[in-house]
Amino acid sequence: MLSSVHSSLYVDKNGCIRLGNDSGPLIIWHHDSKLENSFDGKITILEGFTGKSIFIGEQITLSGGLYDPEPTNVTPIISKTCTDHGYWISGPLQK
């Protein structure tokens, strides 16, 4: 099911990028997305659908959908510390 969510990007103590807070879903990004450190020390995500850059802590609107079961076609394997609150399978960033 495709929907959208408006939330902030959050990194928990285990390095998992979630929506909102520690109990938010883990975001599964498009395979062309990239994670970088910007020149000012911010964590930047270059979103693979649109090519837009977003930062940890930024409010975003992201299409996609919430899923409870663990995705089976994701590599590398997702750490169990990141999988306890479901997954947001990312669609295009709407920002």
pLDDT band at 34 (very low <50, low <70, confident <90, very high): very high
pTM for this structure?
A: 0.86
Cα–Cα distances (Å) from 77 to 43, 59, 70, 72, in that order, read 22, 27, 10, 9
Which residues lie across from 17 on neighbouring strands?
A: 11
pLDDT for 43 equals 92
pLDDT for 41 equals 86
Domain that holds residue 64: 3-93
For residue range 35-68, what is the model confidence (pLDDT) as tens digits? 999 888 889 999 999 999 999 999 999 999 988 7
Q: What is the CATH classification number for the domain harbouring 68?
A: 2.40.50
pLDDT band at 83 (very low <50, low <70, confident <90, very high): confident
The answer on pLDDT for 26 being more than 80 is yes
Distance in angstroms (rounded) separating the CA atoms of residues 63 and 1 = 10
When divided into structural domains, the chain yields a total of 1
pLDDT for 84 equals 86
